Structure 1
């Protein structure tokens, strides 16, 4: 059984009123996950979302016995699909929960458990080993275009999720370039995550910057504006996640890393982001710095505000640990450069000012508490 192509169905079902009402006010990432799950469900059942509601509501109003209701059969089809495509237990449960959310929104009951008491063949999860620098090198060597090479290394050295990488623009890339010693450049990226709408900074290594420049020159034909990664050379249509996933799938097969039976190969877009996290963790980076670079939520809201106002500290930290991300040794290129020493002096001065502001802020807070008492 092949995995379903969900995009045409997603585009079709989101035009229905029952879908628009259900998704109204939700975050884009949540909407996308819900649509994917329900698009698959409609393909498996052969029913539109409106028809699904009408049939289930009618059967429950007529008090059709639960074991005879259509929804029980539909959920069985879903589980059979998960088993045939080797989905993990987590993936199966999340998909089922997303589909049930649609029915629950319209106050329709759903099966709490799957039918048929037989052994659950779903695997616990798709186990994957972390990527190494050699794996990244092999992937770059096996990639057949500068676009794929640049995408891989951009993710691996910045930690940006693929949906956000594909939203980058050429102007954003050039505006973010930062000069280091001996002609090397890194790139500062300031953006909002698609998944959480959380604003943050991260950086792209000079090796990735060099690949992106080659890609722009040779495959984007020297364009100076528009989407950074596009579907074709001289077109401003953004490169799609689906196409990139297909290229990664082919690369896995080419390198002998495809596991078959719908299991994840060694290379996935998430594992490039995971490489970034693991390498910096092993390097001993300050946890607050890693949290911000990854676009995660800070436990202390003041930290997020501070780093957004002072990305220089993140830049210094990134440069300090750059050797853990690049494929060649760069310690002597970056850490002893005058630029880094100058940056450190600026950060120290800014930190003293921030500490003073925070102390004054806390004093004012305590004073307000006393006044309220």
Structure 2
């Protein structure tokens, strides 16, 4: 490969390989993981696989057919994962079922069946027709659906005097970036097949650069534990449902007895973003997650202090989920106005 082609290979592949690393990071190393981040990880993964397939097929036309089919399947999943990420990031609904499977499983099944019946090497004409009339159509339909989900963000973008939130900037950049990559692939018959891969590298680093200059002094919202929604209050009916499910979870499973229980753990069990649950507690109960969970622990400690005369006060605190004696005493006195030891004496 001559120097010119080596340089072209480098610039067309670098974005894809960095996308793979970013996908792994979002899946396994983000501190506050949630379903939306998993979808973002999956989106970066399928985009990167699609681009890598394009790069190697362009420079090495005789690569494994399996590799080509994997790349084509990844292409079919770009749109669904983009939509699922945008939907999960912005939604206020608490989906209890596996609704996302309806977008992923049928797509995978269709691709597996078609790839089995029409191998790429023997049916290139079919794949050229199928690619332009199904894969790219399905891709752009999901991009449009994602745009509809964040239509309020686009309205803010064109409205003078209204400041956009970090989340709105990020989502618009992501949806627009995926649309640009789609357009680059869709127009390869007028340019070159490698333009699609080059566009991914360009969009990938452009978004990172944009975000760096925009948020260089703060942490991007998807790395943070919470995102504040100052003017997006949760509706009363929805808040009531969330609190009801939370109380049922604590009363039936007694999750509060786990001293290492975190907001993210409970949010995952309720199938909702951590910041959404935190906002619900703060807006409707006027307290954070720690205060809320300590109320359950103190309530359980009251029962045990009054009825269990075999355990020490400290042991009861640990049984109820407190991680230390000092935390137990502080929370109990704050809520009951007395220490656990004095409270226990009343019943002994």
- TM-score class normalised by the smaller sequence: under 0.3
Q: What TM-score, normalized by structure 2, do the two folds share?
A: 0.25
Q: What TM-score, normalized by structure 1, do the two folds share?
A: 0.23
Give 1 or 2: higher helix fraction.
2
Bigger Rg, structure 1 or 2 = 2
